[in-house]
Amino acid sequence: MPDRRRLLVIDDDRKIAQAVAVRLKAAGYDVRIAHDGDAGLTAVAEQLPDAIVLDLRMPIRDGLSVLHALRAQEETADVPVVVLSASAVDKNSALHAGAQYFLPKPHDSKLLLASIESALGNHVAP
């Protein structure tokens, strides 16, 4: 059996992070959760994920800062990032910083899964 694709969910809202993780695990992904930007970057350094689901508005280090840090490092520059955020005003900033998709909260689970699969090259864009 091939290894499952590894995803990292970075979101300070524990209920949302858990809900996203449950849905992604049900779809066959191996999912880790980090609850702030610094913990997310530490998790990336410990085990490079195949893709990241990232919230923007978080304490300690916000999602845009995390996205810039990921894109600045050679080993993480191409890791697909799907931004999941209630802050629609940050959509252009997130996409300009290198996110593949921006999805609003509350999220649509089917659209989130389709976006991740597309970012990983498994399906056509949603």
Please tell me the distance from the alpha carbon of residue 93 to that of residue 40, in angstroms, as a whole number: 19
Q: Where are the domains of the chain?
A: 6-119
Residues 6+ positions from 96 with CB-CB distance below 8 Å? none
DSSP state of 28: T
Q: Strands (DSSP E) along 24-100, which ranges?
A: 30-34, 51-54, 81-85
C-alpha torsion 49→113→116→59, nearest 10:
-60
pLDDT score of 3: 63
Structurally, at CATH architecture level, domain 6-119 sits in: 3-Layer(aba) Sandwich (3.40)
Question: pTM of the predicted model, to two decimals?
Answer: 0.91
pLDDT in tens, the chain (126 residues): 346 899 999 999 999 999 999 999 999 999 999 999 999 999 999 999 999 999 999 988 999 999 999 999 999 999 999 999 887 788 999 999 999 999 988 888 899 999 999 999 864 444
And the tokens for 61?
A: 């280090």
